[in-house]
Amino acid sequence: MTACCAPASSAPPVPSFLQFRETEELWRRFPGRERLDGDRVALTFDDGPDPDATPAVLDALESAGVRATFFMVGEQAFEHRALAREVADRGHEIALHGFEHREHSELSGRAARDDLARGLGTIEVATGRRPALYRPPYGRFSEDSYAACRDLRLEAVLWSAWGMDWEPLPAERIAELATRGLAAGSIVVLHDSARYAPRADARATAEAVPSVVQAARAAGLEVVPVGG
């Protein structure tokens, strides 16, 4: 049973990335990890599609011979529809990151549900695919967005490794952080847009991709989308 689909009466506390970092027991069963059996790790990208960064990320993934999961923001997909479609056409998994990149604790119940539903419809129209996975901005759910995720039949997915590429870091540092402690079942989060981050651009993320893939393979791990 996935995290967002548990019956309301028996559901665990609303998950957040920070909550799942608190104890090793929770960490071993964070949302999304159960999908990655065997020696597989998932590479994921948040916040796009963005013409300033996504094309370079796509080319880097193609050169490395791997596919990834793109957690798209609906307003970005609407503005850059052709690029959103290209991500899908190049064989990558399409997932939802909301319509706007908003902290869900700031939204009312109706606003949270509307954000998910609007993002879901926008991304489906732009890419031709209905997302089955959802990651909340900043890795935090509200009670209402958690319930909306369940009602819209979306599976919650967080992450276990990050490159901190929302900061102005060089590619080498991003890759080092993203692959620290990389193991079977890991979900790596990077970002193919700088629109919602302090950094000026996201080019270093694309430059980090080959090193991330190389490190995974050196550890005997296969890089795949979250959905396999």
Cα separation, 13 vs 197, whole angstroms = 28
pLDDT for 70-117, tens place per residue?
A: 999 999 999 999 999 999 999 999 999 999 998 877 777 788 889 999
Residue 6 confidence (pLDDT) = 32
Residue 27 confidence (pLDDT) = 40
**DSSP characters over 111-153:** HHHHHHHHHHHHHHHHHS----EE--GGGB--HHHHHHHHHTT
Q: Which of 101, 144, 191, 192 is catalytic?
A: 191
Assign domain 16-21+35-224 one CATH number from 1.10.3210.50, 3.20.20.370, 3.50.50.60, 3.30.70.100: 3.20.20.370
Given a cut of 90, whether residue 28 has pLDDT beyond it is: no
pLDDT for 169-199, tens place per residue?
A: 999 999 999 999 899 988 999 999 999 988 8
Cα separation, 227 vs 13, whole angstroms = 25
Given a cut of 50, whether residue 222 has pLDDT beyond it is: yes
Structure tokens at 95: 């997932």
pLDDT band at 32 (very low <50, low <70, confident <90, very high): low
Closest CA to 212 of 158, 160, 163: 163
- Residue 138 sits at φ, ψ, to 5 deg, of 65, 10
Given a cut of 50, whether residue 24 has pLDDT beyond it is: no
Given a cut of 90, whether residue 54 has pLDDT beyond it is: yes
Cα separation, 111 vs 143, whole angstroms = 12
Q: To the nearest whole percent, how much of the chain has pLDDT over 90?
A: 63
* Domain ranges for the chain: 16-21+35-224
**Summary mean pLDDT of the chain:** 85
**DSSP characters over 162-215:** E--TTS---HHHHHHHHHTT--TT-EEEEES--TTSSSS--HHHHHHHHHHHHH
Cα separation, 114 vs 1, whole angstroms = 25
Residue 12 confidence (pLDDT) = 45
Q: Which of 46, 47, 115, 192 is catalytic?
A: 46
Query: Looking at this protein, which amino acid is placed at residue 53?
Result: A
pTM score: 0.87
User: What does the pLDDT average to over 15-34?
Assistant: 46
Does 144 qualify as catalytic in the annotation? no
Cα separation, 186 vs 71, whole angstroms = 16
What SS3 class is residue 206? helix
Given a cut of 60, whether residue 167 has pLDDT beyond it is: yes
pLDDT band at 35 (very low <50, low <70, confident <90, very high): low
Does 47 qualify as catalytic in the annotation? no
Greater model confidence, 188 or 27: 188
Residue 181 confidence (pLDDT) = 87
